Structure 1
Amino acid sequence: MATPYDEYVGTTALHSLQHPLTDAPEEPAFLVTTQVMELYFGLLRTEWLLAMRQLDRDELVDATATLRRSVRHFEALNAAWASLSWMTPDQFNRFRPALGKASGFQSAMYRQVERLLASKDPSLYASVLGLLARRGLPTSDEPQIEAAWVEVYRGHDAGLRDLAEALMEVAVQFSDWRYRHVLAVRRSMGGKTGTAGSSGVRFLEESARRDVFPELWTARTHL
């Protein structure tokens, strides 16, 4: 008989979702860790969509609190890489062929997370820039956006500075995610082609060099 805890958490459903394709003892850890990451992607999406609504309503304090909460989720997501940090190429090769064309690049939820961190509207950054514009800071192009962040850090509005730093924490965690992903792939498969035919680690390394919220980074040069 299911307990109230089981019914609320959905433990029966959760523990029925693991279906390893091989007898390799390493595969369950790979599968569970990947599923945990997917859940965190969904949680981050939920938090950032909330933050966007709050920003669009000029609820600065609430939006900043939501972003800072999402940073804690991101830290937990990044910590999940530790569950795969032991995997050698030989261990990965024991079940990798069974993955077929399955690849992390196919994660729809991760793509949604990436889109929310992009500059194009609708996105978290677009909502932030909209708020800055309503506060009298022009954000029509990259130089204006950079200048707006310089003004935020030099100005007297502590709320906007808190928002900027919360965004920076999100950006740092996303960079950490990409870096840890690169390390995990290099450690478990080196420079091999990805499971879905991607360029593997080379593509990840190129992605890791691209910052989110770029003007928030470059503005620091002028402070």
Structure 2
Amino acid sequence: MCPHATPSAAAATPAALPEAIVHDERAQLDFSQSMSYGDYLQLDAILSAQKPLSPAHDEMLFIVQHQTSELWMKLMLHELQAAIGHIAQDRLPPAFKMLARVSKIMEQLVHAWDVLATMTPPEYSAIRPYLGPSSGFQSYQYRCIEFAMGNKNRAMLAPHAHRADLLAPVQAAYEAPSLYDEALRLLARRGLALAASHTQRDWTQPYTESPEVEQAWLQVYRQPEAHWDLYQLGEELTDLEDAFRLWRFRHLTTVERVIGFKRGTGGTGGVSYLRKMLDVVLFPEIWRLRTDL
């Protein structure tokens, strides 16, 4: 008996329970004939997917960090693609919910770098020779996210050319209107003055900032009551890019902390490449208008 058990508590032990109740409890704990938690989540496959190649203790951290990031990116793409579709169909309320969720996912990814940052340079050096040329630079999901967010670059198709099954979704994201493209098309449908150069353009080309687009957004922000849902869309996009910048910045600082200025395993400049990415602005007019308000 536990030190503080009372007689009534002792009477409630399994031996004192009616046989029918004990049998019912055992039945509820038997998942041999039904779907269990592990079955539903495919945990056997997920938890057996960590296969370190080195004898280093810290490689498990490195693998789990990147596998969980890919899972979050899968959800991010699921939400981003659906949000783009809703905006294209003038259904903004569900799009707002999805974009807010994407921003929260990015917050999770930002905090995930805190865990990887516990890996010291000697610990990473112990596993680096086993990584070969593999690199997060080759993540096809990340590339789809970049393209969906508007950072189009044809050269970024090349890392996926050896896998037709991976190239297909990357190519589709590259050729489709981005989130910002669809937002601008929505502004035009609402009667705001936007030229065809920004609503019927070649979606594979990098976005070019436009004073005309800024004027359209300024009209929205100067009269929020008249354009409330467009005003809210602008703020959702601002939140999204804000979170994306933090993700990129935390990636940069973690890489610099762990490997310094060594080249990345995938052949990029490492820190120098990530610093360059910090200068990419996805929704430029929404940021610029703040100066002119």
Q: 2:136 aligns with which of 104, 118, 126?
A: 104
Q: What is the distance in 1 between the residues matched to 2:53 and 2:222?
A: 56
Query: 1:166 Cα deviation (Å)?
Result: 0.8
Decide which moves more: 186-195 or 210-219. 210-219
**Is 2:188 the partner of 1:133?**
yes
Higher relative contact order (CA 8 A, sep 6+): 1
Query: Could you list the runs of 5+ residues in structure 1 that have no partner in the other structure?
Result: none
- Give 1:150's aligned amino acid: L
Q: Which runs of 4+ in 1 moved over 6 A?
A: none
Deviation string, structure 1 residues 67-116 (Cα, Å, up to 9, x no partner): 11221122112211111111221111010110000011111110000000
Q: Distance in 1 between matches of 2:142 and 2:97?
A: 23
CA deviations over 1:159-182 (Å, ceiling 9, x no partner): 111111111111011101110010
Question: Counterparts of 1:125-204 in structure 2 under 5 Å?
Answer: 125-140=180-195, 141=198, 142-155=210-223, 156=225, 157-204=227-274
RMSD: 1.5
Task: Name the SS for the 2:264 alignment partner.
Answer: coil
Match of 1:42 in 2: 74
TM-score by length of 1: 0.95
Deviation per CA, 1:122-143, whole angstroms, max 9, x where unpaired? 2111111111110111333511
TM-score, with normalisation over the residues of structure 2? 0.73
How many Å separate the matches in 1 of 2:99 and 2:181? 15
Cα distance, 1:119–1:109 mapped onto 2, change above 3 Å = closer
* 1:76 pairs with one of 108, 116, 133: 108
How much has 1:3 moved relative to structure 2?
5.0
Q: Verify the 8 A CA contact 1:119 1:213 in the aligned structure 2.
A: no
* Matched-pair contact (CA < 8 Å) for 1:85–1:184: yes
Q: Which amino acid in structure 2 is aligned with residue 178 of structure 1? A: R
1:119, CA displacement in angstroms?
Answer: 6.3
Structure 1 residues 25 and 51: CA distance shift in structure 2, 3 A: same
C-alpha distance in 1 between matches for 2:262 and 2:138:
18
Among all aligned residue pairs of Structure 1 and Structure 2, give the percentage whose two residues are the same amino acid: 39
Which residue does 1:66 correspond to in 2? Answer: 98
Cα pair distance change 1:5/1:174, threshold 3 Å: same
Residue 22 to residue 3, structure 1, CA distance change in 2 (3 Å): farther
